[in-house]
Amino acid sequence: MALKIVKGSIDRMFDKNLQDLVRGIRNHKEDEAKYISTCIDEIKQELKQDNIAVKANAVCKLTYLQMLGYDVSWAAFNIVEVMSSSKFTYKRIGYLAASQCFHESTDVIMLTTNQIRKDLSSPNQYDTGVALTGLSCFVTPDLARDLANDIMTLMSHTKPYIRKKAVLIMYKVFLKYPESLRPAFPRLKEKLEDPDPGVQSAAVNVICELARRNPKNYLSLAPLFFKLMTSSTNNWVLIKIIKLFGALTPLEPRLGKKLIEPLTNLIHSTSAMSLLYECVNTVYIDVNTPPLPSLSLSLCLYLSLPPQLCVQKLRILIEDSDQNLKYLGLLAMSKILKTHPKSVQSHKDLILQCLDDKDESIRLRALDLLYGMVSKKNLMEIVKKLMLHVDKAEGTTYRDELLTKIIDICSQSNYQYITNFEWYISILVELTRLEGTRHGHLIASQMLDVAIRVKAIRGFAVAQMATLLDNAHLLTGNMQRMGICEVLYAAAWICGEFSEHLENPMQTLEAMLRPKVATLPGHIQAVYVQNAAKLFATVLKSQEGNTDSTAAQETSQLMIDRLPLFVQSANLEVQERASCILQLVKYIQKLQQKDVEVAEEVSALFAGELNPVAPKAQKKVPVPEGLDLDSWINEPPSESESEDEQPKAIFAKEEPKHSRPRREEVDEKELAKRREARKQEQANNPFYIKASPSSQKVYQEAPGVEHIPVVQIDLSVPLKVPGLPMSDQYVKLEEERRQKERAEKKKKEKKKRKEKRSGRGKKHDSGPESEEDITPAHQVDIVTEEMPEKSSKHKKKKQKKEKEEKEKKKKKKHHHHHHHSDGGGEEAVQNGTVEEEEPLLTSLKNKSSTYQVVVSVIFENKCDSFLKSMEFNVLDSLNSKLQRPEGSGPHDGLTVPFQLPPGVSNEARFVFTVQSIIMPQKLKGTLTFIVKDSSTHEKLDFKLHFTCTSYLITTPCYSDAFAKLLESGDLKCSSVRLEGVNMPFHHLLARICFHHHFSVVERIDSCASMYSRSIQGHHVCLLVKVTVSIDAKCDEPTLLGNVLDEIKQTFSQC
């Protein structure tokens, strides 16, 4: 036995441990898989040994391999063995492995129940802890049921660590074994007030998660959580609680009222962005979203400025340079957009900016937002911007996203925001130039939809589509562009269907019959063939009118020449249509050769206008007389017999025979009964589209298909645009049109107002935005029941007026201001004797590294005369020179740009160039001026004192940087004693800081280190002691000496 143990431990010495395994894998980069398979073999050997230490080591390595993606489920039993080791270090490895590898369907788990129970009740708290942690990963419903009681007792354990773990694992137990929730809940609730913060936050966590699943049951805890919210300082816990309230508030609107204050406080005060985001996100958004819109509305009323506050805060997030905040801001904004579109719309500029962002995810979020922000006014502008992005965009996914967004934005709610469809068609055509997009079919369906529904646009659309067909080779040039060739489907159909609008149908016909077409996908070829026939009919019609009949025959010949290509097509649809049409054309040709006029008959093949039909139009068609929808057309099969009759039919075979004659003699009563029954059934069938009785009645009196509402449109813009259009030009056109319209409207408005003053019957307030005033240039055939209402025009007028008034006021103020100052100038004419003027050296500022010093001088007129034509001049020294404007001599003065009435002071700035700053400078200067009335030149001498201190800039410095600086040894030392200074130390320091531009680096009791830097980058370090001695170091001794002298002087003055 002893030998065995010794042998085991010797073996162990040569075993690989985890570190060796990791290293080994790193060293075998080329044949990693092979190396690992040998390792696994070794591990298998190790697991066969009795020594638990070896086993634990092996399991530890397995855990690592499992992470790398190797299947280790074969070792499950060994893991259980290691879990049950009495030594904690091994047990821990076992539990870790179990938590990584086990899942609900691992069958060895049922072997662990007793082991886990033993560990849970272990006197060692870490045994318990590790068991709890592990359990949270692999708990099964069985384990949860068996161990629920044990864990529940642990919730009141003396050790907070265990209490916390137990509370947390309870959550998993509740999920797996819901019956445990009821008995455990009171204890869980207690833990919300546990003295240990860790346990408390664990309880908050668990209850919040439970409550979010089923908020109704947790309303009673609201006061408790409210208390926690106002007292907790842990942001993570606060986030949980706010999430919880987000779930509770819809159920208890009164909560919202209570929450306003603490939440608004949090929003205003928190520095944690995550918390702020949660506040904004959860409460304002989750609560405001359906299914409880009425509640959300009342909540909005409670929160006096909620959406605005929210959106403002979000704006701050979006404007932040941190991309993460930007992203989240946009994300939250899009949620608010759903409930408060208005408050978001005002930030359009910001959203548009985000489209330029470097980050694709941010751009996508911004795109989402744009969808909800468009209006008639800004649609063109926004789409124009998006089109620019389409051109710039790299990567097809983003470009595709842009494309779909553009189409989504334009087509939303029946093209509500499009005022000019020519523009839209041009946009669609421009989009076809995209390379590699997958959304050709989307563009195609839009083209079809618009061309069919907007009658006025057909001419324009056909012209565009013909160009597309002509240039089809560009679209189908390479394989990358296959997605976009779907557009040709729409182009061919539109050209064929509305061929009467074609400028040159012959050319288009030829384009459609090019051999290249055969390379297109089958369904597109089919449309080509069919529509070539339509075009053919149109061409024939125009050519037969002419006297020359050969042209018509040539056209037929063209068809006969080209169609066989399609007859050979592998696609059935193409083949079928082509051969059918080919035969038709051959027949036509035969007739043509006999000089028979066929054009009329051929075009009759495709006659008939295609009108858009509303989804509910069918019910508006009156039932023709004599048609009884309730009588059977065919006898219903026997299945339709009511179900309880069926068994009879099975048992009695003769029954069907009898039933038939009986049905034939059904009388009126029976019919009525059945009708009733069917109506009943229809009423109960949710999939049956019911007719609303009212609408039926209305249309019953006016029979005829003509009553399907179709909007008539007249077109104001000339249609012909040569070549492919540029959508941009429409933006301009649209502007002009709108301006015109506005002008017209104003005129009308005036008239109307006069007329209408007496009776203002109707008040439309459904369309709240003034933009409704923009009438579309073309209208979509929106065949829904209601037409969009034109909104109140009074409103807009009012707004405008207000604006005007405001502007006027502003001007007035402005004017007033001017006037005042002018008057002031005139007022102050008074005779005086002598004047006094004091130039004050206020501050020296360095502008940049060129050592420019700006001196601001305050001129104060202390006499009672008016001073004018002031000139400021300084005698330059070698070192310091006054900067004069170009072209003036070195001794010329500078004109002071103002005059001084008596008692008034004003400031002027002068720029000096300074070469060396290590010495103080005194510059002599003169100021000349004229006293009004006396009109003589007066002169005032002054001196400008440039101290060394004034070249210092207060620069903060960290103590470690300061220490490094002192250690560097580059600095020269000097010291000074200040005699007779008795002021508190901190006053002394403050004085040095204030007068000499130092900052305190560190203060330790009786001494302080201070630092400043000159504009030329000299470091100045001081060590000030309470005995009022200053040790100083600087890399420029002269500068240091002068600074110290100046400090000394400062203190000698007091």
Partner 1 sequence: MIKFMLMVNRQGQTRLSRYYTPVELSRRAVLEADVVRCCLTRKKDQCSFVEYKDFKLIYRQYAALYIVVGVTDSENELSVYELVHNFVEVLDKYFSRVVSLDIMFNLDRVHIILDEMIQNGHIVETNKSRVLAPLTALDKMADS
Residue 67 as a binder of partner 1 (CB under 8 A): the answer is: yes
Q: Does 71 bind partner 1 (CB under 8 A)?
A: yes
Nearest to residue 975, comparing CAs of 1024, 1019, 1050, 1030?
A: 1030
In angstroms, how far is CA 800 from the centroid of its own chain? Answer: 33
Instruction: Indicate whether 60 belongs to the interface with partner 1 (CB under 8 A).
Output: yes
Mark the segment that binds partner 1 (CB under 8 A) among 323-331, 819-827, 915-923, 946-954: 323-331
Closest distance between partner 1 and the C-beta of residue 192, in Å? 15
Q: Is 603 in the site for partner 1 (CB under 8 A)?
A: no
Tell me the site size for partner 1, rule CB under 8 A: 61
In the range 179-208, which residues lie near partner 1 by CB under 8 A?
A: 197-198, 201-202, 205
- Compose the 145-174 pattern: x for residues touching partner 1 by CB under 8 A, - for all others: ----------------x--x---xx-xx--
The nearer residue to partner 1, 243 or 541, going by C-beta atoms, is 243
DSSP secondary structure code for residue 900 in this structure = B
The residue within the footprint of partner 1, chosen from 64, 185, 606, 962 (CB under 8 A), is 64
Q: Which of 218, 277, 421, 528 binds partner 1 (CB under 8 A)?
A: 277
Which residues touch 314 (CB under 8 Å, ≥6 apart)?
280, 329, 332, 333, 336
Element (H, E) at 368: helix 360-373
In the complex, the smallest distance separating the C-beta of residue 397 from partner 1, rounded to whole angstroms, is: 12
- Note whether 563 binds partner 1 by CB under 8 A: no
Sole binder of partner 1 in the list 3, 68, 607, 650 (CB under 8 A): 68
The window from 318-326, 382-390, 411-419, 665-673 that contacts partner 1 (CB under 8 A) reads 318-326
CB of 794 to partner 1, least distance (A): 45
Q: According to CB under 8 A, which one of 82, 148, 154, 239 is a site residue for partner 1? A: 239
Q: Which amino acid is at 433?
A: R
Task: Say whether residue 499 binds partner 1 (CB under 8 A).
Answer: no
Instruction: Please return the burial class of 1018, using the count of CB atoms within 10 Å of its CB with bins 0-12, 13-18 and 19+.
Output: buried
Scan residues 280-299 and list those touching partner 1 (CB under 8 A).
Answer: 281
Among 35, 44, 111, 126, which residue sits at the site for partner 1 (rule: CB under 8 A)? 126
Spatial distance between the Cα atoms of 46 and 40, rounded to a whole number of angstroms: 10
Q: Which lies closer to partner 1 via its Cβ, residue 9 or residue 324?
A: 324
The token pair that represents 369 in the structure block:
């937002």
Angle separating helix axes 550-567 and 522-545, nearest 10 degrees = 170
209 touching partner 1, by CB under 8 A: yes
Piece of 16-24, 525-533, 742-750, 950-958 that binds partner 1 (CB under 8 A): 16-24
Return d(Cα 639, Cα 632) in angstroms, integer: 15
Which one, of 505, 348, 1008, 466, lies nearest residue 725 by Cα? 466
Helix or strand holding residue 609 (H, E): none
Q: Nearest distance from residue 273's CB to partner 1, in Å? A: 6
Whether 184 and 170 have beta carbons less than 8 Å apart is answered as yes
Pick the binder of partner 1 from 55, 243, 376, 405 (CB under 8 A). 243
Inter-CA distances, 584 with 446, 597, 604, 875, 936, Å: 32, 15, 13, 107, 111
Our finding on whether 31 is near partner 1 (CB under 8 A) is no
**At its nearest, how many Å lie between partner 1 and the CB of residue 96?**
5
Comparing CA positions, the residue from 376, 379, 334, 375 lying closest to residue 354 is 334
Q: Given the complex with partner 1, which of 91 and 455 has the nearer CB atom?
A: 91
Query: Which is closer to partner 1, CB of 99 or CB of 375?
Result: 99
- Pairing of the two strands 1019-1025 and 1007-1014: antiparallel
Choose between 22 and 605: whose C-beta lies nearer to partner 1.
22
* Contact call for residue 361 and partner 1 (CB under 8 A): yes
Give yes or no for residue 362 binding partner 1 (CB under 8 A).
yes
Other C-beta atoms lying within 10 Å of the C-beta of residue 954: 13
Pick between residue 198 and residue 767 the one whose CB is nearest to partner 1: 198
Quick count: other Cβ atoms within 10 Å of Cβ 326?
21
1005-1034 footprint of partner 1 as x/- string (CB under 8 A): ------------------------------
**Cβ nearer to partner 1, comparing 359 with 601:** 359
R_g of the chain computed on alpha carbons: 45
| Under rule CB under 8 A, residue 92 binds partner 1 | yes
Closest CB to partner 1 among 171 and 1011? 171
| Amino acid in position 13 | M
Question: Least Å distance between CB 185 and partner 1?
Answer: 17
**479-483, long-range: CB within 8 Å, 24+ apart, which pairs?**
480/435, 480/436, 481/435, 481/436, 482/521, 483/436, 483/437, 483/438, 483/439, 483/440
Query: Which region, judged by CB under 8 A, interacts with partner 1, from 129-137, 522-530, 765-773, 795-803?
Result: 129-137
Contact, 40 vs 75, CB < 8 A? Answer: no
> From CA 579, how far away is CA 835, in angstroms rounded?
111
CB of 328 to partner 1, least distance (A): 6
- Give the interface segment with partner 1, choosing from 91-99, 184-192, 631-639, 665-673 (CB under 8 A): 91-99
Nearest residue to 858 (alpha-carbon basis) of 882, 874, 844, 841: 841
Is the separation of the CB atoms in 386 and 405 below 8 Å? yes
Show the tokens assigned to 778: 């073309």
Specify the residue, 328 or 992, whose C-beta has the smaller distance to partner 1: 328
Instruction: Please identify which residue in 51, 274, 471, 916 interacts with partner 1, judged by CB under 8 A.
Output: 274
Q: What's the 3-state SS for 458-524?
A: HHHHHHHHHHHHHCHHHHHCCHHHHHHHHHHHHHHHHHHHCHHHCCCHHHHHHHHCCHHHHHCCHHH
Q: What is the smallest separation between the CB atom of 404 and partner 1, expressed in angstroms?
A: 16
Interface residue with partner 1 among 133, 298, 416, 549 (CB under 8 A) is: 133
Q: At residue 530, what is the residue type?
A: Q
Task: Kindly tell me which residue out of 51, 122, 234, 913 binds partner 1, with binding defined by CB under 8 A.
Answer: 234
Q: How far is the CB of 504 from partner 1 (least distance, A)?
A: 49
Question: Could you say whether residue 66 binds partner 1 (CB under 8 A)?
Answer: yes
CA 763 to chain centre: 38
Q: Is the Cβ of residue 239 or residue 1047 nearer to partner 1 in the bound state?
A: 239
Helix axes 323-339, 360-373, angle to 10 degrees: 20
CB of 659 to partner 1, least distance (A): 55
Q: Does 18 interact with partner 1 (rule: CB under 8 A)?
A: yes
* Continuous segment of H or E residues that includes residue 945: strand 937-946
What is the bridge-based pairing of β-strands 867-874 and 894-895? antiparallel
Given 113, 115, 122, 235, the residue binding partner 1 (CB under 8 A): 235
**Closest approach of Cβ 362 to partner 1, in Å?**
6
Distance of closest approach, residue 383 Cβ to partner 1, in angstroms: 25
Nearer to partner 1, 19 or 712 (CB): 19
For partner 1, give the closer residue by CB, 357 or 655: 357
The two tokens of residue 256 are: 């919202």
Closest alpha carbon to 974 in 1045, 1051, 918? 1045
Sites of contact with partner 1 (CB under 8 A): 18-19, 22, 60, 63-64, 66-69, 71, 73, 88-89, 92-93, 96, 99-100, 103-104, 126, 129, 133, 136, 161, 164, 168-169, 171-172, 197-198, 201-202, 205, 209, 212, 234-236, 239, 243, 272-275, 277-278, 281, 323-328, 358-362
